[in-house]
Each structure stands twice: as structure tokens, then as C-alpha cells.
Amino acid sequence: MSKTRTRSTFYWAMALMPRERRHAMFALYDLARALDDVADGDGTRETRRTALAEWRREIDRLYAGTPTHELTQALLPIVRRFDLPRAEFEELTRGMEMDVDGPLVAPPRAVLDLYCRRVAGTIGRLSLPIFGADNGAEREFAIYLGRALQLVNILRDLHADAATGRLYVPLEYLQAAGIEPGEPMATLSAPTFNQAAQTLVADAQEAFTAAHARLPECNRRALWPALAMSAAYRDLLDRLAQATLPMPTRQHVSRGAALCAALRAALFARA
């Protein structure tokens, strides 16, 4: 088990799954992490674009049955066993390219929506067959939940992202707060920045609500790992909603809280 996995908020939700499904989720997570590491890496833009282009070719090889990287070799039987949709892997790489081609600074709301769909909704959609729940309502649930989780990450990581020249809070929200965005770290210091950030908090809350509104038409027992992630992140969002953003220190979900969320979700799913 890697340190990256054990520190992840998602770890306990995945660790408590049946062995085959747990193995599949960890393999999916490891590939997503590798792509994210390219997008967030220290290399030049051209170097990172080249690396993502090679991952695109590797996904082609994966679906041709001839992967050459250890991560995609691990994924090959999982792709076949669970019939994972190739288009979602392709969209995931496009999402990473948005970060490489950027950096995204105060994007229009529509661009942020597309970014969330690509970097988070894709993981939700790829997870569904592994969970054993992939009908229409479950796909909607996954897209909304992926958006909610990504927005919480954005709100939690405002300082860290600004330090790398990124600011994902939409242009419209900043302008509504009387802020004309400039250098990201300076924008965070604007007196009315919290107003703009809290509008994004409301977006995340709405996405959670929309996801959970689909649950009556979903297989809750199969989706309990996703419900565990939702519970842990909603607790974190509650902290962010009650704070003045950006918070001075990065907020985390403790291992104990993540485990409790996973256990609560497992019980809720069986109710």
C-alpha cells in the first residue's frame, strides 16, 4: 500500500470494498494520480504536454490489449472485466491538458464546469461499473458528485493553487464581488474575495444536493463507497462554508473521520 493511498480521503471507502473491486479501484486511482502528477509537475509546458500525449497513446495501447506501462498493464484485466468506457479516459487526459495549457486563472463558469466534468466526473463514471451500479440515474449521481468533490478540493487548495499560478474561482463570481482578477495570490488578498469564494461553496452544496436527489433511483448498496466520499467531503465543505476564505491552513479529512464516514455510508446503504 502506497503512502499516497493511505493519506487519501478516498482510502477507507476503497479499502473496505470486496477484494476484486478494491483492486480495480486502486488501479484506477493510481492511473489518475499519475496523470495528475504530470499536469502538476515541474517540467516545462511542452514537456508535460509530451508526457500527456504519450499517456494518450498508452490508453490506445490499453484498449488494443497491448499496454506497455505497469499502471495500464494492471488496468487491462479491469477494463475488460468491468467494460470501462474508453471515452472517459480520453476526457480525463483532456482535463489534465486544461491545466497544462493554462494555468486556469479565473475561468468563465462554463470552463470550470467543463474542467470539473473532465477531471472528476470521469472518475465517477469509470468507478460506476466497478461499484456495480451504472444506470442513468447512477451516471447523473456520479457526475454531480464528482463536481461537488472537485469544487471542495478547489476551495480547500486556494493557497496551494495560487502558489502555482492557478485560480479556479470563476470570473463571474469575482466580478460580482467587485474584483478584477490579476495575479492569483494577490486576488486571494482582495477584501471581498470571501464573497466570491462562498458563491463557489454554494455551487458545491448544490452539486451534493443534486447528487443525493438521484439516490432513490440508484442502487445505494453498490454506491456506498461513493456515499462515504460524499460524507467526508460534505463535512469538509461545512468547515469551509463557516470560514473566511481562503483559510490560512490547508484543511484535511483525518483518517479517523474518513473511516467513520465509510462505516456510516455502509450502514446507510443497507438501511
Q: Using CA atoms, how far apart are residues 211 and 121, in angstroms rounded to an integer?
A: 12
- Lowest mean pLDDT segment, chosen from 128-142, 180-194, 247-261: 247-261
What is the percentage of the chain residues whose pLDDT exceeds 90?
81
- Identify the pLDDT of residue 169: 98
Better pLDDT: 28 or 10 = 28
Cβ atoms within 10 Å of 183's Cβ, excluding its own: 12
Q: Using CA atoms, how far apart are residues 54 and 264, in angstroms rounded to an integer?
A: 41
**Total domains in the fold of the chain:** 1
Contact 154, 161 (CB under 8 A): yes
As given in the structure block, the three cell numbers for residue 167 are 485560480
Q: Which alpha helices (DSSP H) does the chain contain, by range?
A: 3-7, 11-15, 19-39, 45-64, 70-82, 86-101, 109-116, 122-131, 136-156, 158-163, 171-176, 184-188, 193-213, 224-241, 255-269
Tell me the mean pLDDT in the region 176-180: 97
Domain hosting 138: range is 3-269
pLDDT of 5 over the 50 cut: no
User: Could you identify the residue written with the cell 462554463?
Assistant: 110
Q: Phi/psi at 105 (nearest 5 deg)?
A: -130, 115
pLDDT tens digits, one per residue of 36-60: 999 999 899 999 999 999 999 999 9
CATH number, domain of 182, equals 1.10.600.10
pLDDT of 3 over the 50 cut: no
Write down the mean pLDDT value for the chain: 91
Residue in 91, 90, 83 with CA at minimum distance from that of residue 128:
83
Tell me the mean pLDDT in the region 204-213: 98
Better pLDDT: 92 or 232 = 92
Phi-psi region of 145 (alpha: psi -120 to 50; beta: other; left: phi over 0): alpha
- Identify the pLDDT of residue 248: 86
pLDDT tens digits, one per residue of 93-120: 999 999 999 889 999 999 999 999 999 9
- Identify the pLDDT of residue 251: 76
Residue in 102, 99, 75 with CA at minimum distance from that of residue 89:
75
